[in-house]
Amino acid sequence: MASKNLIRSRTHLKFVSEQPCIICSRPDVQSAHIRYAGAGIGMKPSDHFVVPLCIDHHSEQHRMNERMFWHLYKKDPLVYAFFFCLQSPDKKIKKSSFDKFRNFFE
């Protein structure tokens, strides 16, 4: 059921990966999914929930408890992800952003 609401967008992932790492500002980044915003155990969330992380920080994010990772760096990844969605060149990502993030900001 959750997979029906997942939006995949190579355009948005490329856009996010062109931004600097939100932790250290390095330019060599990957689009990192925010897993706790997820679609279920073992599933990646919708591509709305991605932020740019350098290779080192992306690896670190996967090696530890994700909420602890974000707490350690004093970052709210959902705020960043929402910001990137609103600026996305992908119209379906931009248009559906408010609905996707509504539950996190109420």
Q: pLDDT per residue over 16-66, tens digit each?
A: 999 999 999 999 999 999 998 866 667 789 999 999 999 999 999 999 999
DSSP assignment letter at 89: S
List all residues 6 or more positions away from 93 whose beta carbon is below 8 Å from its beta carbon.
7, 9, 11, 12, 47, 48, 85
Residue 31 has phi, psi (to 5 degrees) of -80, 115
What pTM was computed for the model?
Answer: 0.90
Helix (H) or strand (E) holding 29: strand 29-33
Q: Are the CB atoms for 50 and 12 separated by under 8 Å?
A: yes
pLDDT of residue 37: 86
The helix, strand and coil proportions of the chain, stated in percent and rounded to the nearest 5, come to 55, 10, 40
pLDDT of residue 1: 34
pLDDT of residue 43: 77
**Residue 62 vs residues 87, 92, 97: alpha-carbon distances, Å:** 26, 28, 25
pLDDT of residue 44: 82
| 42 three-state secondary structure | coil
pLDDT class of 104 with cuts at 50, 70, 90: confident
